[in-house]
Structure 1
Amino acid sequence: MPPEAFPALVALAIATLFTPGPNNAMLAASGANFGFRRTIPHWLGVATGFPLMLLVVGLALGGLFQASAILREALRWGGAALLLWIAWKVATSGGIGSKTADARPMTYIEALGFQWVNPKAWSMAVAATSQFILPAAPITTAAIVTAVFLTLGLGSGATWCYAGQAIARWLTTAKRLKIFNLVMAGLIVLSIVELVRH
Structure 2
Amino acid sequence: MSPELLIAFIAFAFVTSVTPGPNNMMLLASGVNFGLRRSLPHMLGISLGFMLLVMAVGFGLGQLFEQVPLLYTVLRYAGAAYLLYLAWKISRSGAPDTSGTDSGKPFTFLQAAAFQWVNPKAWVMAIGAITTYTPQENFLVNVLLVAALFALVNCPSVGLWTVAGSLLRNWLSNPRVLRCFNVGMALLLVVSLYPILGDF
Normalised-by-shorter TM-score class: over 0.9
Structure 2 equivalent of residue 186 of structure 1: 187
Q: Give the Cα–Cα distance (whole angstroms) in 2 for the partners of residues 102 and 173 of structure 1.
A: 15
Aligned to 1:172: 173
Structure 2 match to 1:133? 134
Structure 1 position 98, deviation (Å)? 8.1
| Aligned partner letter, 1:4 | E
What are structure 1's unaligned runs of at least 5 residues?
A: none
Q: CA deviation at 1:53?
A: 0.9
Shift of residue 187, structure 1, vs aligned partner: 1.2
Could you list the per-position Cα deviations for residues 48-86 of structure 1 after superposition, in whole angstroms to 9, with x for gaps in the alignment? 110111012112212112333211211111100000000
Deviation of 1:26 after TM superposition, in Å, equals: 0.4
Q: How many percent of aligned residue pairs carry the same amino acid?
A: 41
1:26-55 deviation digits (Å, cap 9, x = unpaired): 011011001111111111101211011101
Between stretches 108-117 and 67-76, larger displacement belongs to 67-76
C-alpha distance in structure 1 between counterparts of 2:150 and 2:187, whole Å = 26
Residues 42 and 109, structure 2, Cα contact 8 Å, conserved in 1: yes
Q: CA deviation at 1:181?
A: 0.6
Match of 2:21 in 1: 21
Unaligned runs of 5+ in 2: none
| Structure 2 residue identity aligned to 1:104 | K
Which residue pairs with 1:2 in the alignment? 2
Contact 1:83/1:188 (8 A) holds in 2: yes
In the aligned structure 2, how far is the partner of 1:181 from the partner of 1:21? Answer: 16
Taking the TM superposition and a 5 Å limit, the aligned residue runs for 1:1-198 are 1-97=1-97, 103-198=104-199
Deviation track 1:79-138 (CA, whole Å, cap 9, x = no partner) reads 000000000000100133389997110111110000011111111111111112233212
Distance in 2, matches of 1:98 and 1:43, equals 27
Identify which range, 18-27 or 39-48, moves more after superposition. 39-48
Letter in 1 for 2:151: L
- Mapped to 2, the partners of 1:101 and 1:170 lie a distance apart of 16
Distance, in Å, in 2 between the alignment partners of 1:63 and 1:3 is 28
2: CA distance between counterparts of 1:42 and 1:93? 17
| Aligned residue type for 1:86 | L
Report if the CA contact (8 A) 2:57-2:130 is conserved.
yes
- 1:128-182, CA deviations, whole angstroms, 9 ceiling, x for partnerless residues? 1111223321222112211221111110122111100001121020111011111
- The normalised TM-score by structure 2 is 0.92
CA distance in 1, matches of 2:137, 2:63: 16
8 Å Cα contact 2:97/2:103 also seen in 1? no
